[in-house]
Chain A
Amino acid sequence: MGRSLARLLVVLGACALAVGIAAGCGTSGSGSSGSVNRPIQVTTSQDIPHTDPALGYDTLSWPVEHAVFTTLITYNTSASAFVPWAATSVPKPQNGGKKYVFTLRKGMKFTNGEPVDASAFKYEIERILNPKTKSPVAGFYTNIVGATDYQKNPSGDLKGVKVLSPTQIEFDLVTPDQTFLQTMAIPSASAVPKKAVEKAGPDFDTHPVGSGPMKVETFSHGSKLVLVKNPDYKNLSGNPETTEAKSKEIDITIGIEPTTEIQRVQAGQADYELETAIPAAQYTQLKNNPQWKSYIKADTTNTIWYFYGNMTQKPFTNPKVREAMKYVIDKERISQVLAGEVALTSQMLPPHMPGYDTSIKSENYYDPAKAKQLLKEAGYPNGFTIDFWDQNSSDEPKVDQVLQQDFSQVGIKMNLHSVSFSEWIDKQESGTTQSGGGYWSQDFPDPSDFLDVLFNSKQIPANNQSHYTGSDQELAQALVEPNHQKRMEMYQQIQKQILASNAVVPVYNGKSIYFVNPKLKGAPIDPVWYQTYQTWYLTE
């Protein structure tokens, strides 16, 4: 007995020691040097997928590309309008909306000395359409005349992009498209140096050569990406959005666990915790702590999380069942388990999206009694069983379990399939899921990027998981309407149609919540880019 007791005490003692050490590690730490010229330290848990504008299509790659490359036009700070960048002005559409001509500024160069001219912009579009590149954004440029031919035969000429002179480039479209300029402002349409690209081959993605305010000094996947100021870049337009880099260097350290990132910022070893949101577990505590409150940087993003039922599968073929879903879901409980790090909504367009309908107030329709009533009227007095699919990343499983309980309260048994992100994408895109959690993040700030992508019958099954088909004609008309005001109104009408059909239940817009050193200035949460590395700087 004595021997066992001794053993027990040793084990417990060891445990206590381990816990003590672990707790101690969090709070200690040498502060970083106070110089305002030191490199800005960013930490993130996920690897940055790409720096090549033909390949990047995510929220981590785009801000890097936006700092390293130049596009013809870009967004103003509120993403409500375009401002010229490499072009001298934002062109007006000609020929019934099918022709755009850009005039380029003179004297722009890539960091390897190649000129930034019309052919450099044409070359990028060609790369994207070339099937060898396997670009995820090719779909944005298939409306250019000759694009589909070029995709079949990339050794030919891309007829719809004409290099009229080194400083003049013309784009001809098959059909008029009000989102064309959007596709010119995203990093995919950056100028790229042909010689450097051909020489580097696939290495271009880790050793990019651009003409933007910053350049990539080193990039080691899964480990670190270092951005430094590009001394050759000049802000020719004079607009604040196209500024020269305000800092000398930004170091992005990859693969740090979010809880550790928070601790590093608190210890002064890092300046910016780059995650979608602060882990809910710590958020509440930090929010109420006077020492750390000022470190929290938050804003609603143009993202949406929604519940969908497949309208072509029972029971969702029944409009009363779909209506009942609205009353089953307790949105406030969902917000509560996510520590309030989301903004509840009752529409599909997010608040910073042009066309957002301020007349549709966010409401929690939660009413289990009403839901049961509707289900009874629909012919399901005893409820039913449904299969629900969602990704198992971060806090999704929590939301799904809240939904599961909400459903069981009205007699619906939910078989929860909580799977990896890639499996979830595959399953959803197969169009066979009965119901699930839908999530969308904007490509660019235009309402078509939400309503057209998620509710056009052409997008079944890839992005239109609810299989809604009721607004195809209206969506086609809105895509080409030249009058901006009228166009926004058309999208609002379409949204009302979609909401009336109860094809989906919009639940929340995500928030980006970062934990940031208050001495880091010039770092707004940009509605398009989230991080505009080129505008960041440290103060005393």
Chain B
Amino acid sequence: MFGLTVFVLMILVAVFAPLIAHYDPTLQFRDGLRADGSPVGPSAKFWLGTDALGRDLYSRLVYGARTSLEVAILANIVSTLIGIIVGSVAGSFGGVVDTGLMRFTDVMMSFPIILFAAFLAVVFRPGMAVLIFIIGFVSWFYLARIVRAEILSVKNREYVEAARSIGVNPNVILVRHLLPQVYGQIIVYVTLGFSTTVLYEAVLSFLSIGIQPPTASWGNLIAEGDQYLTTAPWIAVFPGLAVAITVLGLNLLGDGLRDALDPRR
């Protein structure tokens, strides 16, 4: 329940950002900085304080939700597609193809993901599109395995045999008979994948290889706040809490969905 609330809240905040935000997130206010250049704390004018350039943190947090969510959804679509394709091809073709793809998946899984994503981000100049593809490319492994496992378990059932024996195109068999068994699992892992992609976006933007300022994202807000932890803690703490609560909520939602949809329980 908590997870669902968090998820819905995040979607609402992201979609209605312009209505919920207080100011333009890129506007640097003259009075957003004290005379000595230090950021202003939570106050009547700036509800969660300002950042190092005098921009309203609350507004940036709200728009950051939008950015982070956009990246998470699109990256998830990328990773889900890759996962389904790899898993289905491996599961339905079997043999050498299966072995090859699964070993490839194993190798990819054993890579330190963050380092690999960081490496990709250095090779390709950072930006929204690149970030989405990078996160997508490092997030499909578990789904591929799940899809493959499910397909293996149903592909020798009687009704599938029957379809094959009357000459139904293998691709049609895949889409109409095998994949539907997996939809439940896919939904669970997509939801759990959400939380991972939100986290990846935060980490990569924190390392300055994700979303670039002045566009706000929770990750780059935390990065900026890192230096100000003792002098202006609000800059890192609020986005940090946002990430933590969102990730936790999505995880709980995913767990709940898994419990609800798992045919074995």
Asked whether, in the complex, the Cβ of A402 is within 8 Å of the Cβ of B38, the reply is no
Q: Do A279 and B37 form a contact, CB below 8 Å, given A401-B53, A405-B28? A: no
Q: Which of A3-11, A38-46, A348-356, A441-449 binds B?
A: A3-11
Check if A284 is an interface residue, CB within 8 A of chain B: yes
Q: Which residues of B contact A280 (CB under 8 A)?
A: 37, 52, 227
Asked whether, in the complex, the Cβ of B33 is within 8 Å of the Cβ of A337, the reply is yes
Asked whether, in the complex, the Cβ of B231 is within 8 Å of the Cβ of A401, the reply is no
CA gap between A285 and B252 in the complex, in Å: 41
CA gap between A336 and B37 in the complex, in Å: 5
Q: Which residues of A contact B138 (CB under 8 A)?
A: none
Asked whether, in the complex, the Cβ of B53 is within 8 Å of the Cβ of A339, the reply is no
Asked whether, in the complex, the Cβ of A337 is within 8 Å of the Cβ of B227, the reply is no
Check if B165 is an interface residue, CB within 8 A of chain A: no
Asked whether, in the complex, the Cβ of B53 is within 8 Å of the Cβ of A398, the reply is yes
**Set B35, B228, B252: member contacting A4, Cβ < 8 A:** B252
Q: Which residues of A contact B1 (CB under 8 A)?
A: 1, 4
Check if A174 is an interface residue, CB within 8 A of chain B: no
- With CB as the reference atom, state the residue of chain A lying closest to B245: A8
Q: Which residues of A contact B37 (CB under 8 A)?
A: 280, 284, 335-340
**Set A11, A284, A333, A419: member contacting B38, Cβ < 8 A:** A284
Chain B nearest CB from A207 CB (Å) reads 32
Asked whether, in the complex, the Cβ of B230 is within 8 Å of the Cβ of A8, the reply is no
Q: Which residues of A contact B3 (CB under 8 A)?
A: 4
CA gap between A314 and B82 in the complex, in Å: 46
Q: Do A7 and B252 form a contact, CB below 8 Å, given A282-B230, A285-B231? A: yes
Interface centre among B1, B125, B212, B227 (most CB of A within 10 A): B227
- With CB as the reference atom, state the residue of chain A lying closest to B122: A420
Check if B111 is an interface residue, CB within 8 A of chain A: no
B contact residues, total (Cβ < 8 Å): 28
CA gap between A397 and B125 in the complex, in Å: 16
Q: Do A340 and B28 form a contact, CB below 8 Å, given A282-B230, A418-B212? A: no
Q: Which residues of B contact A392 (CB under 8 A)?
A: 208
Chain B nearest CB from A510 CB (Å) reads 16
Asked whether, in the complex, the Cβ of A284 is within 8 Å of the Cβ of B231, the reply is yes
Asked whether, in the complex, the Cβ of A11 is within 8 Å of the Cβ of B28, the reply is no
Check if B214 is an interface residue, CB within 8 A of chain A: yes
- With CB as the reference atom, state the residue of chain B lying closest to A392: B208
Check if A15 is an interface residue, CB within 8 A of chain B: yes
Check if A281 is an interface residue, CB within 8 A of chain B: yes
Q: Do A402 and B28 form a contact, CB below 8 Å, given A281-B228, A337-B52? A: yes
Asked whether, in the complex, the Cβ of A282 is within 8 Å of the Cβ of B227, the reply is yes
Q: Do A11 and B214 form a contact, CB below 8 Å, given A282-B227, A340-B36? A: no
Q: Is the interface of A mostly helix, strand, loop or mixed?
A: helix
Asked whether, in the complex, the Cβ of B227 is within 8 Å of the Cβ of A401, the reply is no
Check if A404 is an interface residue, CB within 8 A of chain B: yes
Asked whether, in the complex, the Cβ of A281 is within 8 Å of the Cβ of B227, the reply is yes
| CB 8 Å contact bits of A437-456 with B (1 = contact, 0 = none) | 00000000000000000000
- With CB as the reference atom, state the residue of chain B lying closest to A287: B36
Q: Which residues of A contact B244 (CB under 8 A)?
A: 11-12, 15
Q: Which residues of A contact B53 (CB under 8 A)?
A: 337, 398, 401-402
Q: Which residues of B contact A8 (CB under 8 A)?
A: 2, 248
Within 8 A of A (CB), among B1-46: 1-3, 26-28, 30, 33, 35-38
Q: Which residues of A contact B230 (CB under 8 A)?
A: 26, 282, 285
Interface centre among B27, B54, B231 (most CB of A within 10 A): B231
Check if B232 is an interface residue, CB within 8 A of chain A: yes
Q: Which residues of A contact B213 (CB under 8 A)?
A: 397, 401
CA gap between A401 and B227 in the complex, in Å: 18
Chain B nearest CB from A278 CB (Å) reads 11
Within 8 A of A (CB), among B214-265: 214, 227-228, 230-232, 244, 248, 252
Chain A nearest CB from B31 CB (Å) reads 11
CA gap between A1 and B252 in the complex, in Å: 10
Check if A259 is an interface residue, CB within 8 A of chain B: yes
| CB 8 Å contact bits of A251-287 with B (1 = contact, 0 = none) | 0000000010000000000000000000111101101
Q: Which residues of A contact B252 (CB under 8 A)?
A: 4, 7
Asked whether, in the complex, the Cβ of B214 is within 8 Å of the Cβ of A281, the reply is no
**Set B208, B212, B231, B248: member contacting A281, Cβ < 8 A:** B231
Q: Which residues of B contact A398 (CB under 8 A)?
A: 52-53
Chain A nearest CB from B172 CB (Å) reads 42
- With CB as the reference atom, state the residue of chain A lying closest to B225: A281
Q: Do A339 and B36 form a contact, CB below 8 Å, given A8-B2, A402-B53? A: yes
Interface centre among B1, B30, B36, B37 (most CB of A within 10 A): B37
Within 8 A of B (CB), among A1-51: 1, 4-5, 7-8, 11-12, 15, 26
Q: Do A336 and B52 form a contact, CB below 8 Å, given A7-B252, A15-B244? A: no
Q: Which residues of B contact A288 (CB under 8 A)?
A: 36
CA gap between A280 and B53 in the complex, in Å: 12
| CB 8 Å contact bits of B191-216 with A (1 = contact, 0 = none) | 00000000000000000100011100
Asked whether, in the complex, the Cβ of A339 is within 8 Å of the Cβ of B38, the reply is yes
| CB 8 Å contact bits of B46-63 with A (1 = contact, 0 = none) | 000000111000000000
Chain B nearest CB from A19 CB (Å) reads 9
Chain B nearest CB from A456 CB (Å) reads 33
Asked whether, in the complex, the Cβ of A259 is within 8 Å of the Cβ of B36, the reply is no
Chain B nearest CB from A160 CB (Å) reads 45
Asked whether, in the complex, the Cβ of B52 is within 8 Å of the Cβ of A404, the reply is no
Asked whether, in the complex, the Cβ of B33 is within 8 Å of the Cβ of A281, the reply is no
Q: Which residues of B contact A333 (CB under 8 A)?
A: 28, 30
Chain B nearest CB from A340 CB (Å) reads 6
Known: A12-B244, A279-B227, A392-B208. 20 other contacts (CB 8 A): A8-B2, A11-B244, A11-B248, A259-B227, A280-B52, A281-B228, A282-B227, A282-B230, A282-B231, A284-B38, A284-B231, A285-B230, A285-B231, A333-B30, A336-B33, A339-B37, A340-B37, A398-B52, A401-B28, A402-B53
27 A-B residue pairings within 8 Å (CB atoms): A1-B2, A4-B2, A4-B252, A5-B2, A7-B248, A12-B244, A259-B227, A280-B37, A280-B227, A281-B52, A282-B231, A285-B230, A285-B231, A335-B37, A337-B33, A337-B37, A337-B53, A338-B37, A340-B36, A392-B208, A397-B213, A398-B52, A401-B28, A401-B214, A402-B53, A405-B27, A419-B125
Q: Which residues from chain B sit less than 8 Å from chain A, CB to CB?
A: 1-3, 26-28, 30, 33, 35-38, 52-54, 125, 208, 212-214, 227-228, 230-232, 244, 248, 252
The 3 closest A-B pairs by CB, nearest first: A281-B227, A339-B37, A336-B37
